[in-house]
């Protein structure tokens, strides 16, 4: 009898085996593909991979299974251990890497990564070096906007943690307003038209084809961070599109053969001179429409959109122009003093 009771207790334990509580861990760095899948299955299905040693990261095991980075559900089958399925996973990744190791990587395994569209999932940034201008001042640095953003993100993560601990089983679904959807579709179709063989984005089809999807995700992030309620607004979609276009231009700087045959630095100064002339001839204007560059900008920009966008992006990075949207038109203001200061500094160094 005693043995039968023990057997029954053992059977009950198997039937009512307690489930291991899910860990709330978002940040990861040195991790294998197998560990990624297991972690997403056993813990919360969200993960942020980060590495400021990008060379080692890209050469590691994480990028071996590049085809799995599409956000869809996937099954994992193992010999000697139970199989499982990862559903509704959310992953983000940050990779910081110096230019030379990155270009060396592109000559090897990076060719395959580009071919299957791995880099198109990223918001790529290739900023101009600030070496030689990083001067230190004996005063406390204040970054109130960055501090406010960090505080808001901490608030969102804390709320997320509380909801998970309370047993949340579904995610909030965000939708576009009718106007926002129209703006998104129009932007998406403009990009699509440039993917044809003679289009301005023909040699960066991988990143350009992901622009609309990335803009939708960024718009959702802006909506959440700003604490907006209801549908995502048209203004938010437009702002997200501007941000993602910046990163597409950065992608073009890195990968477009059309742009690499030109000097972006020289182009930016030609464009700067054209913009300066425009504002000198229009003293009462405080902004210039981007469309006006067709008339006032250098003629070689008119049939080379990537080259123009790269030059605009460089002027923006230098703080010479500020880009914004006004009445559904892309405009920019001009910082004459910044332009003159950079030119003076450049002449002094030469």
Per domain, the residue ranges of the chain are 2-121, 144-253, 262-349
Domain 262-349 annotated CATH 1.10.10.10: yes
Long-range contacts from 283-287, C-beta under 8 angstroms, 24+ separation: 286/333, 287/324, 287/326, 287/331, 287/332, 287/333
Residue 247 dihedral angles phi and psi, to the nearest 5°: -70, -30
Tell me how far apart the 2 most distant CA atoms of the chain are, in Å. Answer: 103
> What is the distance of C-alpha 334 from the center of its chain?
26
Q: Say whether pLDDT at 44 is over 90.
A: no
Spatial neighbors of 123 by CB under 8 A, at least 6 apart, are 214, 244, 247
Q: Closest Cα partner for 339 from 252, 260, 263, 280?
A: 280
Spatial neighbors of 309 by CB under 8 A, at least 6 apart, are 245, 249, 252
Spatial neighbors of 277 by CB under 8 A, at least 6 apart, are 296
Q: Kindly tell me the sign of the dihedral angle through the C-alpha atoms of 43, 44, 46, 50.
A: negative
- pLDDT of 220-257, one tens digit each? 999 999 999 999 999 999 999 888 988 988 888 888 77
Q: Say whether pLDDT at 116 is over 70.
A: yes
- pLDDT of 66-94, one tens digit each? 445 556 667 777 666 677 777 778 888 88
Query: What confidence score (pLDDT) does residue 350 get?
Result: 47
Its pTM surpasses 0.95: no
User: Both tokens of residue 78?
Assistant: 């193992």
Q: Say whether pLDDT at 150 is over 70.
A: yes
List the beta strands (DSSP E) in 231-271: none
Query: What confidence score (pLDDT) does residue 152 get?
Result: 95
Spatial neighbors of 132 by CB under 8 A, at least 6 apart, are none
Query: What confidence score (pLDDT) does residue 349 get?
Result: 42
CA dist., res. 272 & res. 297, Å (int):
9
CA dist., res. 6 & res. 275, Å (int):
86
Query: What confidence score (pLDDT) does residue 63 get?
Result: 62
Query: What confidence score (pLDDT) does residue 212 get?
Result: 93
Q: Say whether pLDDT at 201 is over 80.
A: yes
Query: What confidence score (pLDDT) does residue 225 get?
Result: 94
- pLDDT of 210-220, one tens digit each? 999 999 999 99
Query: What confidence score (pLDDT) does residue 62 get?
Result: 62
- pLDDT of 123-133, one tens digit each? 988 877 777 77
């Amino acid at each position: 009898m005693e043995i039968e009771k023990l057997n029954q207790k053992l059977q009950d334990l198997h039937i009512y085996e307690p489930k291991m509580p899910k860990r709330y861990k978002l940040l990861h760095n040195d991790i294998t593909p197998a560990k990624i899948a297991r972690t997403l299955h056993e813990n919360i299905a969200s993960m942020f991979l980060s590495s400021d040693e990008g060379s080692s990261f890209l050469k590691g095991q994480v990028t071996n299974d590049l085809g799995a980075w599409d956000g869809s559900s996937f099954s994992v089958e193992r010999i000697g251990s139970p199989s499982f399925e990862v559903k509704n996973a959310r992953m983000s990744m940050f990779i910081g890497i110096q230019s030379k190791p990155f270009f060396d990587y592109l000559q090897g395994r990076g060719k395959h990564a580009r071919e299957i569209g791995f880099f198109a999932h990223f918001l790529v940034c290739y900023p101009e070096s600030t070496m030689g201008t990083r001067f230190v001042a004996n005063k406390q640095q204040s970054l109130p906007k960055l501090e406010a953003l960090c505080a808001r993100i901490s608030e969102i993560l804390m709320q997320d943690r509380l909801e998970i601990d309370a047993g949340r089983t579904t995610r909030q679904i965000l939708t576009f307003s009718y106007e926002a959807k129209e703006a998104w579709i129009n932007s998406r179709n403009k990009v699509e038209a440039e993917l044809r063989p003679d289009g301005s984005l023909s040699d960066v089809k991988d990143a350009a084809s992901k622009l609309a999807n990335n803009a939708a995700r960024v718009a959702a992030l802006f909506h959440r961070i700003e604490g907006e309620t209801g549908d995502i607004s048209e203004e938010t979609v437009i702002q997200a599109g501007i941000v993602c276009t910046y990163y597409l231009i950065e992608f073009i700087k890195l990968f477009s053969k059309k742009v690499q045959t030109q000097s972006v630095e020289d182009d930016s100064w030609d464009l700067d001179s054209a913009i300066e002339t425009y504002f000198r001839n229009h003293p009462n204007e405080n902004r210039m429409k981007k469309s006006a560059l067709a008339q006032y900008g250098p003629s070689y920009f008119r049939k080379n959109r990537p080259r123009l966008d790269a030059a605009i992006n460089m002027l923006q990075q230098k703080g010479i122009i500020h880009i914004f949207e006004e009445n559904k038109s892309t405009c920019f203001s001009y910082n004459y003093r910044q332009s003159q200061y950079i030119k003076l500094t450049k002449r002094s160094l030469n």
